[in-house]
Structure formats: structure tokens, C-alpha cells
Amino acid sequence: MSMLTLRLDAQLDAQLASLAAQTGTSKSELARQALQAHVFKLQWEAAATPLAPHFLAAGVYSDEDVMKLCDAYRQERREINRSHSSKP
């Protein structure tokens, strides 16, 4: 794993430290998660596909978000199939 050094203003550092204490997560992990989400968002925007604005508007910023949408779609399809198969 590589290391990145960055400077934070006092207010952001205090916010990050407070959130780390509240969540029991390190400041490094919180920064890593935020950076990962931001990079993912920028990659989507840079892709300039017709669907990218729709995904971003729906709050899809990570693989997990995509999987949640897929799971919800699958569940919806199962329910539709069940309702169709239960009809005489």
C-alpha cells in the first residue's frame, strides 16, 4: 500500500478527528473512503456516457451502490414473476 501525505486546515482536521472518534474509524480510513468515493464519481463524470448523469443523480458512486440497485431489481423481478405464476 502506498502512502499519500496531505495538508488539512484546522477545521477539517478537527471534523475528521471528531468523526473518527465517533465512528471508531481511523482518520486515514475515513480519508481513504472519501477519496475513493470522490475518485469514483470523477471517473463516472469523465466517462461521459449517456447514463453517467442518471447514475450520479441516483446517488450511485460505488460498486456497492450498483450491487444494491441490481439486488433491488432482482427482488422486484422475483415478486413480479411470483405474482404472474400464482394467477390461474
pTM above the 0.75 mark?
no
Q: Are 40 and 61 in contact (CB under 8 A)?
A: yes
Instruction: Write out pLDDT tens, residues 70-87.
Output: 899 999 999 988 888 876
Q: Note whether residue 4 is domain-resident.
A: no
Domain region containing 67: 10-85
Separation of alpha carbons 18 and 15, rounded Å: 5
Q: Note whether residue 48 is domain-resident.
A: yes
The residue among 68, 40, 80, 71 whose CA lies nearest residue 56 is 40
Q: Is 78 exposed, middle or buried (0-12, 13-18, 19+ CB in 10 A)?
A: exposed
Number of domains in the chain: 1
Question: Residue 88: pLDDT band by 50, 70, 90 thresholds?
Answer: low
> CA-based angle 27:33:34, to the nearest 5?
90
